[in-house]
Structure formats: structure tokens, C-alpha cells
Amino acid sequence: MNDDPTPRLYLDALEETAETPRTSLRPLLLTAARARRRPAAAVSGWTAPYAGRIAAMDALLGQVGEDDWHKETVEGWTLQELLAHLAAKDGLVALAVGAPVLGPPVTVDEALARTAELQEHERRRAPGQTRRDWRTQADALCRHLAALPPDTPASVGGFPMPAVDHILARALETWLHTADAAGAVGVTLPQPVPEHITPTADLCARLMPLTMRVSGHTVAEGRAVRLVLTGPGGGRWHVPLHRHGKAVREGDVNAGAGAGGAPADATITCDVAEFCFLVGGRGEADTFAAEVEGDSGLARDLLRAAPALSGP
């Protein structure tokens, strides 16, 4: 029996439309999934979205040329520096849950400070070493989390959330930066499978009450928005916007009675992947493609506030 889970980790990177772009990585990803044999992380259901994005990024990195590592991506970072940034933030999650952290010891639990520290360290190394340690740390994090319940408390950068939410945030950021890297080297990547997009979108919806508060919007008790996220992996969320509001996915058997029929002051309908990218700091809220019913001012306030927690 083949116990190598690598092909399973790559499955979400292989979902594409019937018409495959010439610049697509699908053939390369298939080759990588078949040929690769080094051990990969065992994953539980709740870590799978993150593991899938790690696998997709790693497949992309396996195809870049030596010159590609020096191409600028975002924030003026080279591809190697971008990968060090991902490793830095993954490492802070690993530190919070007691998983191995590679690279120099963490001196401060803060994302940008750790990024600068790790980028300085990685600039003195070959890109292949950066890639190897990033992937090794991610695999170790997945293995460690597989033995923990998803609601395990964890504080990263002074921000307490259940471990499942921290790892979904890592899945979203890895998805975003994989798209950044793909754009820099001129290839087209497929989207994650719907089963991985849905929990990521759920996290984004549940963050909306907090992003509104962080953005300075004081929302009265009883105000709410309904998010209708279309496309594979989408769904409908009722999002109460008061201080202790908790977004609920309509139709979720664990949502509680009444979630599907709760009133909302505005309904926002948009593409699920585009909404996730907006929350991750990609796109402009004022030109964001969305259909709005009801209180358009409240809806636009939410869309403008959506990226409030995003970083580089």
C-alpha cells in the first residue's frame, strides 16, 4: 500500500476549467504529484486547505528558473524574500502551538519583525534551501496540528483565535502569495477545490464584525449583512455587525435555529474567491464587483473594511 500522501495534497491544485490555458501549471503539477516521493504532512480535515495551498506553492516553486527567484513580487520582495515572509508567519503559528520553528530563534512575536529577521537570514542562503525549510516547517506544522482539536486556543502576534482559524488564515495568505508568485513568473494557477474554499470563505465572513470595528465603524445592535458568495465553494452567510456578532453560514447544520431567516439590512452578492482576495488585501473596495440590495452605505462600509486585518 502506498502511504505517501503527496498526491492527495496536490489534488486541490489540479482543479481547472475544461479549457486549460497554455500557461497553466496543470501538466507540471500532475508530473510533480506523480514523481515526488519525499514524505509530506499527514493532514486532518481541518488542516487540508492549508496543506493544499502549501502543495500548490511548492509545485510552482519546483518549476521556477534560477532567474525567477530574483523577480519582484509584492512589497518589493523577491520570490525568495516572499517565501521567507510566508515561512516567518507560518513559524509564528508553529511557535504558538508548540510545533517546530526553523530558522533563527524567534525574538519577537510580531509578523513584520519576524519577516525582516527571516528575510535577512535567507538572503545569505540559496533559494533551494529557503524552499526546503519553508516546506519542512509547513509539513511539521500540519503533522503537529493533526493531533490537536481544531478549537485549541492559540495566540499569534497577540491575536487569540482557535488554531483552526489561524491555519485558515495561513491558507488564505499562502493562496494570495502563490497567486503573486505565479503572476511574477507568468503562469496561471487553478483555484483551490471548493471543499477548501468554503472554510476559508467562512473565516473571511466571520472576521467581518471585527474588521468593521477595527475600521472605526460603530454599528448599532441588530444591524446585519447577508453575504451571498457565488461560485464553487461559496454559500450564504448572515453577519451580525454588533460587537459580539458571529457570522453564521446559512444551511450549516451547526448554525442553530433561525440563521437562514434572520433579517439583514443589506445583501452583498459577489464571487467567493474575489471576496477572499479582497479580505486578503487584494482589490479596491470602491470598484469591487458586487450586487447590493438594501442599505448600500452599510454594504460599502463593510467592503471597505474587509481588508482591515490584512498585511503584506
Give pLDDT tens digits for 174-213: 999 999 999 999 988 889 999 999 999 999 999 999 999 9
Model confidence band, residue 167 (pLDDT cutoffs 50, 70, 90): very high
pLDDT value at 36 more than 60? no
Mean pLDDT of 19-46: 50
pLDDT value at 13 more than 80? no
Q: Which pLDDT score, from 0 to 100, does residue 19 have?
A: 39
pLDDT value at 16 more than 60? no
Share of the chain above pLDDT 70, in %: 82
Q: Which pLDDT score, from 0 to 100, does residue 63 have?
A: 87
pLDDT value at 76 more than 50? yes
Locate the DSSP E strands across 94-223: 153-156, 159-162
First-to-final CA distance of the chain: 42
pLDDT value at 311 more than 60? yes
Mean pLDDT of 6-32: 44
140, 203, 231 from 165: Cα distances, Å? 18, 7, 22
Q: Which pLDDT score, from 0 to 100, does residue 189 have?
A: 84
Q: Which pLDDT score, from 0 to 100, does residue 190 have?
A: 87
User: 283 or 243: which carries more pLDDT confidence?
Assistant: 283
Give the separation between CA 256 and CA 37, rounded to whole angstroms. Answer: 44
Q: Which pLDDT score, from 0 to 100, does residue 37 have?
A: 37
How do strand 235-240 and strand 248-249 relate by DSSP bridges? antiparallel
Mean pLDDT of 33-50: 63
Mean pLDDT lowest for which of 35-49, 242-256, 291-305?
35-49
Give the separation between CA 298 and CA 99, rounded to whole angstroms. Answer: 41
Closest by CA position to 122, among listed 153, 152, 82: 82
Model confidence band, residue 290 (pLDDT cutoffs 50, 70, 90): very high
Which CATH architecture fits 199-309?
A: 2-Layer Sandwich (3.30)
Report yes or no: 126 and 83 within 8 Å, Cβ to Cβ. no
Report yes or no: 264 and 294 within 8 Å, Cβ to Cβ. yes
* Sequence spans of domains, the chain: 6-192, 199-309
Q: Which pLDDT score, from 0 to 100, does residue 258 have?
A: 43
pLDDT value at 30 more than 60? no
Q: Which fold has domain 6-192?
A: Four Helix Bundle (Hemerythrin (Met), subunit A) (1.20.120)
Work out the mean pLDDT of the chain and round it to a whole number. 86
pLDDT value at 45 more than 80? yes
Mean pLDDT of 3-24: 42
Chain segment 91-103, per-residue pLDDT in tens: 999 999 999 999 9
Residue 61 CA from chain centroid, whole number:
18
Report yes or no: 77 and 115 within 8 Å, Cβ to Cβ. no
Mean pLDDT lowest for which of 6-20, 45-59, 186-200?
6-20
- Residues ≥6 apart with Cβ < 8 Å to 73: 79, 81, 82, 177, 180, 181, 183, 184
Closest by CA position to 54, among listed 196, 152, 149: 196
pLDDT value at 128 more than 90? yes
Model confidence band, residue 262 (pLDDT cutoffs 50, 70, 90): confident
Which residues are 224's β-sheet partners?
240
- Residues ≥6 apart with Cβ < 8 Å to 244: 209
Q: Which pLDDT score, from 0 to 100, does residue 3 have?
A: 42
Dihedrals phi, psi of 104, to nearest 5 degrees: -65, 155
pLDDT value at 83 more than 60? yes
Long-range contacts, stretch 279-288, CB < 8 angstroms, 24+ apart: 279/172, 279/204, 279/207, 279/211, 279/306, 279/307, 279/309, 279/310, 280/172, 280/173, 280/175, 280/176, 280/307, 280/310, 281/176, 281/307, 281/310, 281/311, 282/176
Which residues are 161's β-sheet partners?
154
